[in-house]
Chains A and B, each alone.
Chain A
Amino acid sequence: MIVFVSALTFFFVNLAPGGPASVMRFDVTAEQRDALIHEMGLDRPVVERYADWLGGALRGDLGTSLLTNEPVAQRIADRLPNTLLLAGAALLLSIVVGIPMGVLQAVRRNSWLDHALTALSALGLSVPVFWLGIVLILLFAVTWHVLPSAGIASVGKDSLGDRLAHLVLPASVLASTVLPTVVRFTRSSMVDVLVQDYLRTATSKGLAPAAVVFGHGLRNALIPVTSAIGALAPRLLGGTVVTEAVFSWPGMGRLALEAANGRDYPLVVGVAVVVAAIAVVSSLIVDLVVARLDPRVVG
Chain B
Amino acid sequence: MSRIAVLSAIVLVAVVACAVAGPLVWRVDPIATDPAHALAAPSAAHPAGTDEIGRDVLSRLLYGAQLTLLVGLAAMLAALVLGTFVGAVAGFYGGWVDALLMRLTDAMLAVPAFFLILVVVTVAGTGASTLVLVIGGLSWMPVARVVYGETRRWRVAEFVVAAESLGATAARVLARHILPQAVPSLIVSATLGVAYAILTESAVSYLGLGIRPPTPSWGNMLQQAQQYLFTEPSLALYPGAAITVVVLAFNFLGDGLRDALDPRTRTRR
Contact = CB atoms under 8 A, between A and B. Distances in A.
A235 B112 contact: yes
B226 interface: yes
B122 A263 contact: yes
B222 interface: yes
Contact of B248 (A123, A264, A280): A123
Interface of A: 1, 4-5, 9, 12-13, 16, 18-19, 109-110, 122-123, 125-131, 134-135, 137-138, 142, 188, 191-192, 231, 234-235, 237-239, 241-242, 245-246, 253, 256-257, 259-261, 263-265, 268-269, 271-272, 275-276, 279-280, 283
A261 B118 CA distance: 9
Contacts of B122: 13, 259-260, 263-265, 268
Nearest to B203: A242
Given A5-B107, A134-B229, A259-B122, A242 B244 contact: no
B206 interface: yes
Given A122-B248, A128-B199, A134 B222 contact: yes
A248 to B, nearest CB: 11
A283 B110 CA distance: 8
Nearest to B125: A18
B111 interface: yes
Given A138-B229, A234-B112, 18 more contacts: A9-B116, A16-B123, A109-B269, A123-B248, A131-B222, A131-B239, A234-B109, A237-B115, A239-B114, A241-B114, A241-B115, A242-B206, A245-B207, A257-B207, A261-B209, A272-B116, A275-B115, A276-B112
Contacts of B109: 231, 234
Contacts of B225: 134
A268 B124 CA distance: 13
Contacts of A137: 229
A100 B239 CA distance: 33
B247 A126 contact: yes
A142 B230 contact: yes
B252 interface: yes
B121 A138 contact: no
Nearest to B252: A122
Nearest to B233: A138
B110 to A, nearest CB: 6
Nearest to B106: A1
Interface string B247-269: 11001100000000000000111
Given A13-B122, A110-B269, A276 B115 contact: yes
Nearest to B113: A238
A10 B252 CA distance: 39
B45 to A, nearest CB: 26
Nearest to A239: B114
Give the interface centre of A123, A131, A271 by most chain B CB atoms within 10 Å: A131
A247 B239 CA distance: 19
B236 interface: yes
- Shortest beta-carbon contacts, A-B, top 5: A131-B240, A238-B114, A238-B112, A126-B248, A237-B112
A288 to B, nearest CB: 16
Contacts of A265: 122-123
Interface in B191-235: 195, 199, 202-203, 206-209, 219, 222, 225-226, 229-230, 233
Contact of A135 (B120, B203, B240): B240
B119 A138 contact: no
Contacts of B267: 188
B244 A123 contact: yes
B207 A1 contact: no
Interface in B71-122: 107, 109-116, 118-122
16 contacts: A12-B123, A13-B122, A123-B244, A128-B199, A130-B206, A134-B226, A134-B240, A237-B114, A241-B115, A242-B203, A256-B115, A261-B209, A264-B122, A275-B115, A276-B115, A280-B110
A13 B252 CA distance: 38
A15 B206 CA distance: 28
Contacts of A109: 269
A265 B118 CA distance: 10
B111 A13 contact: no
A68 B267 CA distance: 53
